[in-house]
Amino acid sequence: MKARTARRDAVPLLLIAGGLLWLLAETGIVPLRVWGAIWFYGPLLLVGVGLDLLRVRRPWAVPYTAIAVAIVVLAALVVPRSGALQEATAFQEPLGATRSAAVQLALSSSPTRVYAVQDGTSLIDARVSGRPTASFDVRGGVDKTITVRATSTGSWFAAPFGSHRWDLGLTPSVPLALAIDGGSGPATLELADLRISELQLDGGSGGVSLTLPGDAGGYRASLRGGSGPTRVDVGRGASLDLTLDMGSGSTDLTLPSDVDARVGVRGGSGPITIDVPSDARVRLNVLDDGSGPLRVASFLVRRSGSGDTGTWESASATGTPAAIVITVTSAGSGPISIR
């Protein structure tokens, strides 16, 4: 009878423990690094379940599954206190006579910040802490190519513990063509002070917060969404061609009134929200209605079309060239809101 009870209780105990850990992590009581420990030491949980199912004699009146969960949680909470487990790598490349740079960033599971470095002498100034670490490759003369990607070197034992973060500083002194491949970690892309000539962003499962430059020469930006949420804020005075090809994650785009912007939209299954000022000269062209609902702000008046396709304009754009032109070429299945 006791053996059958052990087998019956093993999986429910694991589910209960997982649910409790999830709840405690979301409320901040248990650090999120516990999930990293579970990922790396998950086989120990399987061993505990297996021993319970095989009815192996227990040294105490406690299921092996519960013992395994306790070991993993204890390791996640106690081991990070040792400073020996922290890894940090710094990389710096001088600006020198660089005239322009093409920058390729392949992000990882670590939270990442990209920003403008203000020392005036660095082309790139980066610091990577924890795991995964990153490799840096800089090539070329006055026109350089910079490649940053995750590597597998370092201590595997320290991987789920402690702080892990990428801070990548780029020069604002020369034009940059940025190609960013998003990872599973959150990315904060503070590009407002950079001289962007072109931006290509492929989103991953991690959230992206993107700030685009304003008061600069014209540039192009292409955003391909992933499963993570994407937020985009465009700087005042910007002149840009922006393409949104979104996926299952939500997308929020904010445009100020003094921009010159042409925005192309291909929707996916995630919701897309575009905020435009009511006093701006706005024209909305919807060429494909898709299966998702379209919500248009009340200050935009229909000029042509029917249903969810057609052209809408703000009062200030009537009879004049629009400063903000939004064209939906494929709506997708997710809702699209212009507000």
Higher pLDDT, 66 or 129: 129
What is residue 289's predicted lDDT score, i.e. its pLDDT?
Answer: 87
What is residue 133's predicted lDDT score, i.e. its pLDDT?
Answer: 86
Task: Work out the number of other CB atoms within 10 angstroms of the CB of residue 223.
Answer: 22
- Residues 306-317: tens digit of each pLDDT: 999 999 999 988
pLDDT for 337 beyond 90: yes
What is residue 87's predicted lDDT score, i.e. its pLDDT?
Answer: 61
What is residue 124's predicted lDDT score, i.e. its pLDDT?
Answer: 98
Average pLDDT, integer, range 186-215: 95
Is the torsion defined by CA of 215, 251, 257, 290 positive or negative? positive
Q: Mapped to the 3 state alphabet, what secondary structure does the chain carry?
A: CHHHHHHHHHHHHHHHHHHHHHHHHHCCCCCCHHHHHHHHHHHHHHHHHHHHHCCCCCCCCCCHHHHHHHHHHHHHHHHHHCHHHCCEEEEEEECCCCCEEEEEEECCCCCEEEEECCCCCEEEEEEEECCCCEEEEEEECCEEEEEEEECCCCCCCCCCCCCCEEEEEECCCCCEEEEEECCCCCEEEECCCCCEEEEEEECCCCCEEEEECCCCCCEEEEEECCCCCEEEEECCCCEEEEEEECCCCCEEEECCCCCEEEEEEECCCCCEEEECCCCCCEEEEECCCCCCCEEECCCEEEEEEECCEEEEEEHHHCCCCCCEEEEEEECCCCCEEEC
pTM recorded for the entire structure:
0.76
What is residue 37's predicted lDDT score, i.e. its pLDDT?
Answer: 61
Q: Which residues touch 298 (CB under 8 Å, ≥6 apart)?
A: none
Tell me the two tokens of residue 147: 């490649």
- Residue-wise over 26-51: b if at least 16 C-beta within 10 A, else e? eeeebeebbebbbebeeebbeebbeb
Query: Hey, what domains does the chain have and what are their CATH numbers?
Result: 2-81 (no CATH), 87-338 (2.160.20)
Smallest CA-to-CA distance from 110 within 28, 200, 206, 177 is with 206
Smallest CA-to-CA distance from 161 within 18, 36, 40, 73 is with 36
Higher pLDDT, 20 or 331: 331
What is residue 77's predicted lDDT score, i.e. its pLDDT?
Answer: 61
Angle between helices 2-26 and 33-53 (to 10 degrees): 170
- Residues 145-197: tens digit of each pLDDT: 999 999 854 444 444 444 688 999 999 999 999 999 999 889 999 999 999 99
